[in-house]
Amino acid sequence: MSSDSSLSEQVKTNLSHYNLWTDVQEHPIKDLSLKILSGIPPSKLDSNDIENQREWIIPKPMSHKANLTLKEINSWFVSISDLVESNNSRPKRVTIGLVNDDGTVVYYFIHDGVVKPRQN
């Protein structure tokens, strides 16, 4: 099993069994040598989200030596818009799933563009 397969399986298992997401799927992206995951969380991740909205997750190792570039992040949004055949539009955000050496997975939103901060 390649490290990318192992990484995506770890995040997929975490989403399905720990976070109780449904319909978690892997989408191999040949141009990026990357697997993008998608699934439906049990509840909205943000108050502005639509209920039962498909979310997109990018598995990455936390120990990854290279920094993320805007070009790489943009390629994720382009690849996802190519996967969504119905309207071919970019998602407003993706979630990066950072996997630590001990198996811990931490999730962060990465928005497509500038997002106005919300008040708590």
- For 102, other C-beta atoms within 10 Å of its C-beta total 6
Domain boundaries, the chain: 3-111
In CATH, the number for domain 3-111 is: 3.40.1350.10
Residues of the chain scoring pLDDT < 50: 1-2
Give the pLDDT confidence score for residue 87 in this predicted structure.
64
Give the pLDDT confidence score for residue 66 in this predicted structure.
59
Give the pLDDT confidence score for residue 89 in this predicted structure.
81
Give the pLDDT confidence score for residue 1 in this predicted structure.
38
- Separation of CA 86 from chain center: 19
Residue in 60, 67, 65, 57 with CA at minimum distance from that of residue 110: 57
> 55-61 and 93-99: which strand pairing?
parallel
- Give the global pTM: 0.85
Give the pLDDT confidence score for residue 30 in this predicted structure.
77
Token pair, residue 59, equals: 């598995």
Q: Are 58 and 75 in contact (CB under 8 A)?
A: no
